[in-house]
Amino acid sequence: MNTLFLYFGLFGLFFVVGTPIILALAVAAIVVLLMNNMDLLIFAQKFVVSMDNFGLVAMLFFILAGEIMNGGGMTRRIIAGVSKMIKGIPGGLAIIAVISCSLFAAINGSAIATAIAIGSILYPAMVKQGYGKAFSAAVIAAGGIIGPIIPPSIPMIVYGSTTGDSIGALFSGGIVLGVLIALAECIVIYIISKKRGYGVNTEAIDFGDTKGLIWALIFPVLIFGSIVAGIMTATETSAFAVFYAWFIGTFVYKEFKLKDVPAMIKRAMISSGVVMGIVGAATAVAWVLTYERVPQQVTEAMVAGIGSSSIFMIVSFAILLLIGMIMDLTPAILILTPIFMGPVLAFGVDPIYFGVFFCSVLTAGLVTPPVGTLIYTSCSTSNKGFTEVVKELFPFMIAIYIMLLITAVFPGIITFLPKQVFRLYG
């Protein structure tokens, strides 16, 4: 356990002084290796080998598919289509933002990409219609966390690639939870907007025509359906997503521009490259912790101090909540996964259920101070202060964590679809 405390202490120190996340992970891992008299070549080996994972290729392609959706006009049509369905209700435009985030998330799988893509169109529209700037930024941030929960989820791809669990089953487990969180956010928006008068007696905003919207709406169905039916793996489906987004944007919408391709590929490679670097550094850390028997020690401590699987899930919720507040999503998944796997098996908790729950609680940390990446993204978009955005985010945080806590008590919310679709759990 001393190794675990040493690592978190070093990582926390580097984080506080502003060291880039990849460097903080790597340097902390190297220091731990040296203090345990291990060869530094182990770090290099684990760093490289961890990225030699076919499943992680899906991450690049799903991000690239989202870029092509934006450039090809698909994202705008999704927003235009949702806006025509929701009219004349308090907070209508903000509700459109959350629903659009959910639909975009069902193709992209990234929180940041979802928030940026939808926010670039709907944030200015909300401000124009009289919504508060901080509130509008909070809506986009809250909607963004749906990205890593509704399939295809990039964090679940990382988790499944680490544990060997079925990525398709993890995807299916996130559907109901993602929809419930989106519904909870819409309820929060309605209550606040009705109180403040947002979206009431305001001029409607035209987001353009919805011609060809059906091609955007069947996109998520094709992605998830191909994985569930066993037609394609998650990686193959991600490549298909790129082709589909390009084909529709080029030949149906006729808005895709060939000159934009290099910039799209560059952005996708940078986004996925950052995650891959974190994967490499965090995997080296995970190996050191495993070598020092930290997972076994944590398992023994939890089994001795916790009486049942239900209490274990509540304790896990509290731990993940705290860690999600202070650590970025991807390194948290990679470092904590081997530590939690022992107790999960010891308490007989289903690994698919725990995987979805694990990724979802850590994802919620993206809108929870002090680290909350989506908070800073929203602050940058709105030019509003951190405190102002967090204040508006607080009701959303409560709603999100209530839904997550409910899944800790009622696992059937997550396991229902995997059980029906993949015939898991006997």
Mean pLDDT estimate for the chain: 82
Q: How many domains would you assign to the chain?
A: 1
**What pLDDT shows up at residue 186?**
94
**223 touches 234 (CB < 8 A):** no
Per residue in 308-358, pLDDT tens?
A: 888 888 888 888 888 887 777 877 887 788 888 888 888 888 889 999 999
Res. 421: pLDDT tops 80: no
Range ranked top by mean pLDDT from 111-115, 180-184, 215-219, 291-295: 180-184
Sequence-ordered list of residues with C-beta below 8 angstroms from that of 27, at least 6 positions apart, any chain: 10, 14, 19
Q: DSSP labels for 377-398?
A: HHHHHHT--HHHHHHHHHHHHH
Mean pLDDT value of segment 369-376: 77
**What pLDDT shows up at residue 85?**
74
Per residue in 211-262, pLDDT tens?
A: 888 998 888 888 878 876 778 877 888 899 899 999 999 999 998 888 888 9
**147 touches 65 (CB < 8 A):** no
Res. 291: pLDDT tops 50: yes
Per residue in 69-126, pLDDT tens?
A: 888 888 888 888 887 777 678 888 899 889 888 888 777 777 777 787 788 888 888 8
* Global confidence as pTM: 0.79
Show the beta-strand stretches assigned E in 340-419: none
At 153 the three-state DSSP class reads coil
- Look up the domain containing 418 and give its range: 2-422
Cα–Cα distance between 356 and 407 in angstroms, integer?
10
Res. 376: pLDDT tops 50: yes
At 199 the three-state DSSP class reads coil
